[in-house]
Amino acid sequence: MVTYTVHERNNEEPDIAARAEKIVFVKEGFAWLALVFPLVWLLYHRLWIVLAGFVVIVALLEVGVMSLGLNEAVAVAATFALSGLFALQANDLRRWSLDRKGFAFVDLVSGRDRSECEQKFFTEWLSGQGAGLKPAPRKIAKRSKPVPAKTEKTSPAGDDVIGLFPEPGK
């Protein structure tokens, strides 16, 4: 199963088809193409700031390895390790970039593949549109009232109990 986050540009365009065309799905997890071809992946997704940062970090890494007098194999291994770290965070950086461009998180969808995730999302999204509802971007709910503190129970013997059970021997 794969999971995608769904992002929609914050605008009030009334045309549902135009809004649907601008919705972006970003896969959760490791980006394999970003591991093998990080620069091409960054160019394809138009992540210019991230691209500049990646190039600077790779250049600094290469200069550091060469200034320490290490052999070329160490430089290659360090660059590959950096690409691995980048591939772990690539989709998160893409979400960050979308957020900077005015896209808001709308939903989280899971399915067997991307087409199933898109079908699930648009089925729900269009049913909300038919009712005249605009799907609002999901936000993390904050508690309006503070949660009362739990009262501590002491065991009859006065011993402190560590674990899942409130009293010893149960």
Asked if residue 166 belongs to a domain, the reply is: no
Range of 98's domain? 2-130
Q: Answer yes or no: are the C-beta atoms of 53 and 90 closer than 8 Å.
A: no
Asked if residue 120 belongs to a domain, the reply is: yes
pLDDT exceeds 50 at position 40: yes
Q: What is the chain's mean pLDDT, rounded?
A: 81
Asked if residue 159 belongs to a domain, the reply is: no
Q: Band of the pLDDT at 18, cuts 50, 70, 90?
A: confident
What is the SS3 assignment for 107?
Answer: strand
pLDDT exceeds 50 at position 143: no
Residue 164, pLDDT score: 62
Q: Band of the pLDDT at 10, cuts 50, 70, 90?
A: confident
62 Rama class: left (phi>0) / alpha (psi -120 to 50) / beta: alpha
Handedness of CA 137, 120, 47, 61 (dihedral sign): positive
Number of domains in the chain: 1
Handedness of CA 152, 156, 158, 160 (dihedral sign): negative
Asked if residue 150 belongs to a domain, the reply is: no
Q: Band of the pLDDT at 60, cuts 50, 70, 90?
A: very high
User: Averaged over 150-170, what is the pLDDT?
Assistant: 56
Q: Which residues neighbour 108 within 8 Å (Cβ) at sequence distance 6 or greater?
A: 3, 4, 5, 6
Asked if residue 143 belongs to a domain, the reply is: no
Residue 73, pLDDT score: 87
Asked if residue 138 belongs to a domain, the reply is: no
pLDDT exceeds 80 at position 161: no
Asked if residue 157 belongs to a domain, the reply is: no
pTM for the model = 0.68
